[in-house]
Amino acid sequence: MKPPSGQLHIESTPKRVRVLFNGTFVVDTCEARLVWEKPYYPVYFFGHQDLPEKYLQSTGSGSSDEGTVYNLVVGSRHAPSSVVKYDGDHALAGLLKIMFGAMDAWFEEEEEVFVHPKDPYKRVDVLQSAREVRVEVNGIEVARTVKPKLLFETSLPVRTYIPKTDCRLDLLVPSALTTQCPYKGVANYYDVHLPDGQTIRDVVWWYRAPLPECESIKGYVAFYDEKVDVWVDGKKQART
């Protein structure tokens, strides 16, 4: 059952969770909580005892209804305003949150996780398809395939992954952009450089080394359907 949308939802997790900062595991616990502050995905919260006080430094801003904010300090490194502790009558009293991106790494058991914890209510499935998919950018065909892989991710649009050999590789120029996904891993991007000199930036992405649950999209590319024109079995798709 999906956690209630728009409502604070808290549940325990059986996973061992560790948080690394400046070479030190500042948290190492089997009693973490998954908290949905928003309906889209959970974040980790911990009991006050899971983060030793020696790593906390007051910001001097005092407490509020949103909790007390601390800097996290390990050796010479500081993560400013990266910890929020909750007390009193707050629904999260007795818990604290560490800002995910402020830490060096997070681990569930022995596996590193990225961006945010995986949602136990979400599935990601990759299915081989035989549909004909054709992609145009500003009227120029940049991809055509009859062997796409379709990635179905709960509550998100279906994404089509196309073999690179079925794309106009002469039009794909590597971009400096990278992003991370907790389900798929680290994505690299391409710009599309058209014959007339136009460049459509960061409109294609791919995974050099996807995480195991999405391993079959390795080396395939996906186009932002919202920014290109796509035909599936001869039918033009509406941009979302």
* Position 155, amino acid: S
SS3 for 132?
Answer: coil
| Range of weakest confidence among 64-68, 158-162, 190-194, 210-214 | 64-68
User: What's this model's pTM, rounded to 2 decimal places?
Assistant: 0.80
pLDDT at 63 over 60: no
User: Does the residue 1 lie in any domain?
Assistant: no
Same domain, 135 and 95: no
What's the pLDDT score for residue 8? 86
* Position 133, amino acid: V
Same domain, 137 and 197: yes
* Position 145, amino acid: T
Same domain, 94 and 139: no
Same domain, 161 and 205: yes
User: Does the residue 18 lie in any domain?
Assistant: yes
For 219-230, what is each residue's pLDDT tens digit?
A: 999 999 999 999
Domain count, the chain: 2
CATH number for the domain that contains residue 153: 2.170.150.40
- Averaged pLDDT for residues 35-51: 92
Same domain, 161 and 207: yes
What's the pLDDT score for residue 101? 94
Same domain, 25 and 102: yes
What's the pLDDT score for residue 39? 78
What's the pLDDT score for residue 236? 94
pLDDT at 188 over 70: yes
Query: Which tokens is 22 given?
Result: 């400046």
Same domain, 219 and 197: yes
Same domain, 59 and 157: no
In the block, which residue shows the tokens 């899971």? Answer: 50
Which positions ≥6 away from 49 have C-beta within 8 Å? none
Segment (H or E) for 201: strand 199-207
User: What band does 62 get if pLDDT is binned at 50, 70 and 90?
Assistant: low
Strand partners, 161: 149, 222
Query: Which tokens is 44 given?
Result: 């980790």
Query: Of 43, 78, 113, which closes a domain?
Result: 113
Query: Of 113, 144, 172, which closes a domain?
Result: 113
Yes or no: say if 57 and 74 are a contact pair by the CB < 8 Å rule.
no
Yes or no: say if 95 and 86 are a contact pair by the CB < 8 Å rule.
yes
Greater model confidence, 5 or 214: 214
Query: Of 113, 134, 162, which closes a domain?
Result: 113
User: How far is Cα of residue 16 from the mean position of the Cα atoms in its chain?
Assistant: 20
Residue 123 to residues 99, 118, 153, 182, 183: CA-CA distances in angstroms? 25, 10, 6, 12, 9
153: left (phi over 0), alpha (psi -120 to 50) or beta: beta
What's the pLDDT score for residue 14? 94
What's the pLDDT score for residue 95? 96
Same domain, 106 and 132: no
Greater model confidence, 65 or 82: 82
What's the pLDDT score for residue 207? 97
SS3 for 12?
Answer: strand
SS3 for 195?
Answer: coil
What's the pLDDT score for residue 59? 86
User: Does the residue 224 lie in any domain?
Assistant: yes
Same domain, 37 and 134: no
- Give me the domain span that covers residue 106: 9-113
Query: Which tokens is 138 given?
Result: 């500003």
Residue 38 to residues 6, 42, 68, 95, 213: CA-CA distances in angstroms? 6, 8, 20, 17, 25
Same domain, 57 and 140: no
- Averaged pLDDT for residues 125-151: 97
pLDDT at 2 over 70: no
